[in-house]
Structure formats: C-alpha cells, structure tokens
Amino acid sequence: MKIKELINDVPVLETERLVLRKFNNNDADDLYEYCKDPEVTKYLIFETYENIETAQDRIDFLQAKYAQEKMLCWAIVEKYSKKVIGSIDLCNICDKDKKAEAGYVLNREYWNRGYMTECLKRVLDYAFNELGLVRVYAKCIISNIASETVMKKSGMSFEGVEKKSVYIKGKYYDVKQYAITDEEYIQIK
C-alpha cells in the first residue's frame, strides 16, 4: 500500500504535555500570535503575518489540503492551556523511497522547554510505526541552532550542508540537513 493511501485523515497524536491535531477555524488567533513574531518567522519561508486574515487564510488552505488527504500538518496544542503553540508537519512524502521531510515552528513563549523535541519524537514514532517510512529528514538554516538542537535530541544525524539551498526574505541561505532511518529509530527507542 502506498504511504499516501494511509493518510486518510490526520490522526490525533499525544505526548505527555501536548496534543497534535488538525487546525480548525478556532485556531486563527493562536496561529497569528506566533506567526506575527519576526523572531519566530526569521528562518521560515513565509513572511511574518501582518494580520489575522493571513492566519485564517493559512487555516483555510490546510483544511482544503486535509480534505484532499494531501497534508500531514498538526497544530501543537498544550494540554494544560488548550492553546495552539505551534505546528509540525510531514511534507514531501515520497511513496517510492518511503521518506518524508519534517518541518516545525513554535511560539517563542514556549522555546527552550523541550516541547518541540517531544513533539518531533512523537511524529517520528508515527512516521515509522504507522506510515512505514524508512527515512525522515529535516533541514534548518545554518544559524538556526535551536532547530538543529531539536533534530539532534530527536535522534537525527547530521548529513551535510546544502549551499544556497533556500531563498528566504530576499537572501539565499545554506542549510544543514539531518535525518534518521527506521533502523536508527528502533535502536534509540
């Protein structure tokens, strides 16, 4: 069975402190809160949100992709507060090679608390144990040490640097790539 056929819905995933679920229309304020922060969007391909409508447009886009079963993007919800504090996704899913790319963003108020590592570990578990992927990789701009740390703490290994790999906010950046295979995941589990 193809991986994309297994994605018939975005499942709810849980960790000790977090719930990962689809975005819904009630999430626009929380999404806007962290996407309007230039420090949060500094390394991301999209521009810093200027208004709440941009957040609602993103949610509308995601809901259309959910309906087409073409998107694995989760809202990261803190269990205690019920607040959406970020997002994580598996994208560039390749059936032939059984691999995907992980991407994530987190509200600055929640940085340095281990939330994203906790979240990425749960998504890796889903990727390998439910989707049957054999490889998950992630990338970050070289100067994004926090994102690199999340990858390392999640068990990913450094694979190399792609020079001038992404064009963000008017400038080309080199990116570091990390990855983990299904066998490596089993060993660290």
Rounded to 5 degrees, what are φ and ψ at 140?
A: -150, 150
Model's pTM, two decimal places?
0.94
CATH code of residue 107: 3.40.630.30
d(CA 107, CA 102): 17
* Segments forming the whole domain that contains residue 165: 3-188
d(CA 180, CA 127): 11
Nearest to 22 by CA among 32, 34, 31, 9: 9
- Beta-carbon contacts of residue 169 (< 8 Å; ≥ 6 apart): 47
160: left (phi over 0), alpha (psi -120 to 50) or beta: left
Q: What is the pLDDT along the chain (189 residues), one digit of tens a residue?
A: 556 665 667 899 999 999 999 999 999 999 999 999 999 999 998 899 999 999 999 999 998 887 776 679 999 999 999 999 999 999 988 889 999 999 999 999 999 999 999 999 999 999 999 999 999 999 999 999 999 999 999 999 999 999 999 999 899 999 999 999 999 999 987
d(CA 104, CA 137): 12
For the chain, the domain total comes to 1
Distances from the Cα of 60 to the Cα of 16, 25, 87, 183, angstroms: 29, 8, 15, 37
